Structure formats: structure tokens, C-alpha cells
Structure 1
Amino acid sequence: MATKKTAITKDKIVSLYMDYVLEHSEKPKSVYSFSKSNDFTETDFYAYFGTIESIEKEIFKMFIEKTVELLHKNKEYEMYDMKSKMLSFYFTFFEILTANRSYVVLVLKEHNNQLKKVMQLSGLRNSFKNFLTEIIADDFRTQQERLQNFQEKAFQETSWIQLLLTLKFWLDDASPAFEKTDIYIEKSVKVTFELMNIAPIDSLIDFGKFIFKEKIYNK
């Protein structure tokens, strides 16, 4: 009796793609070669993705979606203030990245072209902005006077740049358990929220000292 073929799902294709990239240190040359090497058809592939590049974008989007899913499983999360939700997001997100570090480092560090790297992270950007909209809705919009000084769109763009800088720091972090990235996250998020409260000086100086020490004395 013939063996029943395993159903090809979106998650299965993503898993196979990540394995392929890690094993070959490069992405597949074509949809045909990728599907053939993994015993499924191009039709199976195109049911979920239009191109090889679209898988790359989807993977980083899935990292965000998994992060948010895990956050909402914590019953206490809904009671957190905006700053605590942001910190929880960062620590959970980078735990997921760390679990997939070999893949993330390989695909991001191969792109010397910054535009290509940003394009690959477009799915991540959109999902992250959706998360920001979600946490802003809780208490930020109710503070009308502060909203005039720190518009929602400015907050989203600033937070996106902050996430990219944190990602860059994490990629270069060689400390045990990436403990320096944890410090970076705590200090950078603190600076962001104190800027929103128009009281940034102490935290900004502290954060600046940390970055200076890491980049100058630890080269």
C-alpha cells in the first residue's frame, strides 16, 4: 500500500526553507529546485507564496506574530502599562530570534545592500506597526495633551528605528546569553518613554554612556 504523502502547509514550507538555507548557506536558486529537493510540487509552493523572496519576508513577519501570540497567552499582560508591554515584546521577540539565530544572522549579514535588507524586513515592519497600534490604543491616545507633543505616527517611526538598532546590536553581541542586548533593550526603551514624557536627560546620558563603552572600549 502506498504511503500517504504528508500535506504541505505554509508552516511546513517555511520550515523546509529555513533548513535549506542553513544547510546550503544560501537560498534556493529557484522555486523548481526548492520544491523538487523537498518532494512537493511548484503548485504546492504557489498556493502560499509567489516568490522565494516572499518566504523571507514571511519568516520575519511570523517571528512578530509568534511574539504577540505568546504575549497574549500571559493573563497579566493585558494589565501592563504601555512601557511594560513594549519591554515584554522586546524580550520575547529576541528570545525567538535567539532560538533561530543561525538563520537570522546568515540571511541578514549576507545582505551588504541595506536596501535589500530593509525590503526583506518589510513584513516585520508592518506587523510591528500593528503591534504598536495595539498598545497605543490602551492608554496613549487618552493622554490628549501629550499626544499633541508626540504624535502616533512619530512614535511608530521612532520605535521602528529603535527595533532596527536593537537588531543590529543583537547581531553584533558576543556576550554570554546576549546579556548586553538585554541591557540595551532596557535602556533604549526607557529613553523612548522618557522622551514621550519630556524628561529624557538622565536616561539619555546613561544610554549614551553604555553605547559609547560598547563601541569604543570593546572593539
Structure 2
Amino acid sequence: MATKKTAITKDKIVSMYMDYVLEHSEKPKSVYHFTKMNDFTETEFYAFFGTLESIEKEIFKMFVEKTTELLAKNADYETYDMRSKMLSFYFTFFEILTANRSYVMLVLKEQSNQLKKLMQLSGLRNSFKNYLTEIISDDFRTQQEKLQNFQEKAFQETSWIQLLLTLKFWMEDSSPAFEKTDIYIEKSVKATFELMNIAPIDSLIDFGKFIFKEKIYNK
């Protein structure tokens, strides 16, 4: 009796795509080629994705979703203030990236076109901004009423740029266990939240010294 074929799911397609990229050090040439190599049909593929590029966007989105799932399992997480939640997000997110570092490095380093790279990260951007909306506290909103010019959207955009800069730092980090990225995260998040409180000088100077040291002495 013939073996029953395992049903194709979105997660399985994502897993097969990542395996293909890692094993061949390149992206599949076409949907036809990718599905044929993995013994399923184009019809099954298009039930979940419109293009191969949409898989790439989904992968980075799934990294954020996995991060928030893990954070939700921590009973103490909901008691954290915004800054602590952000730090928890960063450390968990970059642990997940580290577990998938070979894939992340391959797909981002090969993309020299910055616009295309940002398009590839659009799923990450949207999911991250949704996360930021969830952690914004009433205290933060009250504070921003006083600051007037610093609105929630500005916080989201600033945080997104910060995440991209941290991602770039992590990709260039060669320290054991990426310990310098951990330091970068702590200093950059601290500087961001102190900037929102209009008390930035010490943290910004400390963060600036750290970046200067890394760029000058570790070339």
C-alpha cells in the first residue's frame, strides 16, 4: 500500500525553504524548481505564498512571533515596565536570530541593494511595530502629551531604526557568544528610554564611547 503523503503546511514550506538556501548557498531559481526539489506541487505552494520572496518576509516575521510567544510564557513579563519589556524582547529575539544565524547572514549579506533588503524585512518591521504598540504604557502616553512632539509613531520609527542598527552590529559581531551585542543592546535601549525622558546625556555619551571604541579599535 502506498505511503500517504504528509500534508503541506506553511511552516513546512518555510522549513524546506530555509534548508534549501542553507544547503545550496543560494535561493531557489523558481517556484517550480523549489516545489519539484521538495516533492510537492505548485498548487500547494500557492495556497500559502504568492512568491518565493514572500517566504523570506514570512521567516523574519515568524522570528518576531516566536519571540513574543516565548516572552508570554514568562509569568513575570507582564509586570515589567516598557524598558524591561524592550530589553527582554531584544535579548530573546537575538537568541532566535543566533540559532538561525547561518540563514540570516546568507540572505542579508548577499543582498547589497538596501531597498530590497528593507523590503525583505518588511514582515519583521510590521510585526515589530505591532509589538511596540502592545507594550506602550499609559504612563508613556501621559508623558508624551507633555512632550507634544514625540508621539507614538515617532517612538515606533525610532525603535525600528534602533533594531536595524542592532541587527547590523550583531552581523558584524565576532565576540564569543556575541557578548558585545548584549552590551550594545543594554546601552542603546537605555539611551533610547532616557532620551524619551529628556535625560539623555550620560547614557548617550556612554553609548557613543562604546560605539567609538568598537569602530576604531576593532577594525
Task: Give the TM-score taking structure 1 as reference length.
Answer: 0.98
SS of alignment partner, residue 143 of structure 1: helix
Larger mean Cα displacement after TM superposition, 129-138 or 206-215: 129-138
Cα distance, 1:138–1:3 mapped onto 2, change above 3 Å: farther
For residues 75-111 of structure 1, give each alpha carbon's deviation from its aligned partner in whole angstroms, at most 9, with x where no partner exists. 1000000000000000000000000000000000001
**1:210 partnered with 2:210:** yes
For the pair 1:165 / 2:168, whether they are aligned, the reply is no
> 1:146/1:135 Cα in 2 relative to 1: closer, same or farther (>3 Å)?
farther
Which structure 2 residues correspond to residues 1-219 of structure 1 after superposition, within 5 A?
1-137=1-137, 139-143=139-143, 145-146=145-146, 148-219=148-219
Label 1:29 to 1:50 Cα distance change in 2 as closer, same or farther (>3 A): same
C-alpha distance in structure 1 between counterparts of 2:133 and 2:153, whole Å? 10
Summarize the Cα distance change of 1:144–1:206 in structure 2 as closer, same or farther, 3 Å threshold. Answer: closer
Q: Counterparts of 2:211 and 2:196 in 1: how far apart (Å)?
A: 21
Secondary structure in 1 matching 2:136: helix
Show CA shifts across 1:104-150 (max 9, x none). 00000001111110000000000000000000145422435445242
Matched residues, percent identical?
89
- Aligned AA (1:172): E
Task: Give a deviation string over 1:177-211, Cα, whole Å, max 9, x none.
Answer: 00000000000000000000000000000000000
**Alignment partners' CA distance in 2, 1:144 and 1:194:** 13
Q: Deviations over 1:22-63 (max 9, x none)?
A: 001111000000001001000110000000000000000000
Gaps of 5+ in 1: none
Alignment partners' CA distance in 1, 2:214 and 2:143: 36
In structure 2, distance between residues paired with 1:210 and 1:195:
17
Pairs aligned (count): 219
Q: Structure 2: which 5+ runs fail to align? A: none
Are the equivalent residues in 1 in contact too, given 2:71–2:77 (CA < 8 A)? yes
What RMSD, in angstroms, separates the aligned Cα atoms of the two structures?
1.0
